[in-house]
Structure 1
Amino acid sequence: MKTILIVEDEDAISRVLAAYIRKAGYDCRICRDGKQAAASFDADPPSLVVLDVLLPGMNGWEVLQHIRRKSACPVIMLTARGEVGDRIMGLNEGADDYMSKPFEPDEVVARIHAVLRRPTHSIVGSDQVTFGSFRIDFKSRSVFLNGANLSITPRDLSLLMFLAEHPNQIFSREQLIEKVWGIDYEGSDRAVDLAIKRLRKLLLHWPPEEGELRTLRGTGYQLYAAKTN
């Protein structure tokens, strides 16, 4: 059974969320401050984290950074702040989704379902692909650069894997959302830009003579592969 970690300091909200999540068939545990959440995550990593921003001890951004330093576990940010800047910050820091209070608990459950079922891609002919010093193992969903295993969030990894399956092909934002996020995705297409930005940062030391993630203005994105093994 998949476990959902709720990090929320308001008791009424956390109890209602837990009831809905358990009714949906997940195991669930609750932490009421950031430090407790970080310790709980380290001791027993969950399948997904529902994370409030305004927390005592460590705030939600700090907890998210703690998680991302060691794991690609999906994280849904949950906060009273609804400004566009906060949503962009959450996605840019590696959150997989973002919801503003007030919310309907069944919508949170729907978002959990959507994040956990984001598609993986079948590989035709090979379980891995290598572009010089950059390698993707599709079977284990692992990415390596210069022999080092890179930590990538599930959504960003799915995007990278899709582009690697189709090297040198160009895809629009809309096509990538449909193919990677799924047709039920209701967020902004800005999420694609942010994911590409994070992936470029991770692949900063990938030699350009081997390949690169390219933006084609007005057209879309491609994984340009100059060298394939």
Structure 2
Amino acid sequence: MERIKILVVDDESRMRKLVKDFLVRENYEVIEAGDGEEALDKFYEDKDIALIVLDVMMPKLNGWEVCREVRQTSKVPVIMLTAKGDESDELNGFELGADEYISKPFSPKILVARVTALLRRTNKIGQEADVREVGGIKMDKTAHTVTIEGKNIDLSFKEFELLEYFIDNQGVALSRERILNSVWSYDYFGDARTIDTHVKKLRSKMMDKGNYIKTVWGLGYKFEVE
């Protein structure tokens, strides 16, 4: 069985080696890049890259620019690494399509756990078929696809997980904090704007079915099929 390939991008060689060592221990194959331009070159050269671990502050092209370009052609999962603690940076990353956001310094074991969890959620690590249908929405959790009235809807991985969480909790008023902790799967220190940003984009892509996601003023949101 071929090993899953992960592209690790960081201008600090020691950081790349640290991340690589821990990923290799879990039987992942690691491809390294030391700047944004090299990262894009290697990404376009190898179509089997299953996930990108991407530092933000790098020479030539920074992580934001790399993520933006990757998202123009691919849904490959992206975990952003940064030394910055500004919430606006996290929001910027999510807006550009990043799936996870980890601030330095971090535990390599936690990074590997998030890599594995993200690969499992995005169907890079096998799992049994799981299909849900509600109100004209068909969600195939195994294939990671969503159709509405038979039309395929192009969702990012985090938008998919958000919709999945809403469907699994139909009729339940969900606070923003509960959504963050459940969908992002770890203690999140950002603010509610992250949820509002994702809900706005998800509603737009769902067309008239976006009305199923109702705002609960002063609390959060509730998914309710009309």
TM bracket (short chain):
0.7 to 0.9
Measured in 2, the distance between the counterparts of 1:205 and 1:102 equals 36
Larger mean CA deviation between 96-105 and 25-34 belongs to 96-105
When residues 151 and 66 of structure 1 are mapped into structure 2, their CA distance, relative to the original with a 3 A threshold, is farther
Cα contact 1:49–1:74 (8 A) shared by 2: yes
Question: Are residues 1:137 and 2:149 paired?
Answer: no
Q: Are the aligned partners of 1:33 and 1:56 in contact in 2 as well (CA < 8 Å)?
A: yes
Q: Distance in 1 between matches of 2:209 and 2:18?
A: 53
Q: Superposition pairs for residues 127-166 of structure 1, below 5 Å?
A: 127-129=131-133, 131-132=135-136, 135-145=138-148, 147-153=151-157, 155-166=158-169
Equivalent residue, structure 2, for 1:176: 179
Name the TM-score, length of structure 2 as normaliser.
0.77
Unmatched segments (≥5 aa) in structure 2: none
Alpha-carbon contact 1:150-1:202 (below 8 Å) kept: no
CA deviation vs aligned residue, 1:102-152 (integer Å, no higher than 9, x gap)? 4443443344344445599x99xx8342545x5433442212357243031
Q: For this pair of structures, how many residues does the alignment match?
A: 218
Distance in 2 of aligned mates of 1:139 and 1:97: 20
Matching residue of 1:25: 27
Per-residue deviation, residues 3-60 of structure 1 (Å, max 9, x unmatched): 2210112222212221122123321111122233223223324232110112233221
SS at match of 2:22: helix
Q: Structure 1: give runs of 5+ residues left out of the alignment.
A: none
Higher relative contact order (CA 8 A, sep 6+): 1
- TM norm structure 1: 0.76
Conservation of the 8 A alpha-carbon contact between 1:213 and 1:224: yes
Aligned to 1:44: 47
Structure 1 range deviating more: 106-115 or 84-93:
106-115
Aligned 8 A contact 1:174 1:189 in 2: no
Is 1:200–2:204 an aligned residue pair? no
Moved more, 95-104 or 45-54: 95-104
Cα distance between partner residues in 2 of 1:8 and 1:196: 30
**Could you tell me how far apart the structure 1 residues matched to 2:68 and 2:80 are?**
12
Decide whether aligned partners of structure 1 residues 10 and 189 sit closer, same or farther in structure 2, where only a CA change above 3 A counts: closer
- Alignment partner of 2:6: what SS? strand
Does residue 186 in structure 1 map to residue 187 in structure 2?
yes
**1:207 Cα deviation (Å)?**
4.4
**What letter is aligned with 1:201?**
K
Q: What is the rounded CA distance, in whole Å, between the counterparts of 2:196 and 2:133 in structure 1?
A: 19
State the secondary structure of the residue aligned to 1:204: helix
Residue equivalent to 2:11: 9
